[in-house]
Structures are given as structure tokens and as C-alpha cells.
Amino acid sequence: MKNFGYLIVLLTLVTFSCSDDSDPIQACNVDNVLDLPWLQEKIEMYQVGDHTITMGTYDSQTVFVATTCCALCNMTAPPVFDCSGNLIGKIGYDGIMLEEIADKEIVWKSEDKSCGM
């Protein structure tokens, strides 16, 4: 009976400790960057395919980089957006190099995401 009690406690802990919800990402003066209307529009646009949106710091400001990992796609340089959704440049152009973006963190990836990043 004692082992059964341990099993119940273990199952309860596992049930309540697992969650698909990730912690909110606080930046851009909001509690969760995924609530930014312009970012929600980008996410909706990138739902199909192999896309990732990464947040980081560039030139003392928070930026977002939208990338794809499709080897067969006609790729353009990944766009870089500020907190207001303004395009500030593209990686490899406009003086923005990916290595110059610090503290990179993936904030969203499409369900079709098949390559590692």
C-alpha cells in the first residue's frame, strides 16, 4: 500500500509539472513579446514552412530576426525588426552581421521546423 501511495504522488507531480506553455518573454516594454500585434502578424505569415523568429540585442536595442531553414527556397537575407516592427535592415546587408546580435533567443518557431537552430 505504501508503494501505491508513492506512485500516486509521483503521477501527481508529473501531471502538474508538465506544460506546453513557455514562460512569457519580457522585452520591448511588454510582459510577453509574443503579444506584440506586429509580431503576431509575422507569426501568422510564417506559420507554413520552416521559420524561426529569434530575439536578441543589436546596437543597444532589442531586435527580432526572422529566418528560414529551407535549402531549396529562393532565400533572401533575413530581415531584422525593432520592437515596433520596423525593418531596420537585413542580415549581411545594411551593416548588420548575425554575429553582432547578442543574447540570441528563439522566441517562436513554426511547427514545420525540421532543421536545427
Domain ranges of the chain: 33-117
Those residues with Cβ within 8 angstroms of residue 38's Cβ, 6 or more apart along the chain or in another chain: 81, 84, 85
Hey, is 14 helix, strand or coil? helix
Digitized pLDDT (tens) for each residue of the chain, 117 residues in all: 544 343 344 333 333 333 344 678 888 888 899 999 999 999 998 887 788 999 999 999 999 999 887 666 656 789 999 999 999 999 988 889 999 999 999 999 888 655 554
Q: Is the pTM of this model over 0.85?
A: no
Q: What is the 3-state secondary structure (H, E, C) of 79-109?
A: EEECCCCCEEEEECCCCECHHHCEEEEEEEE
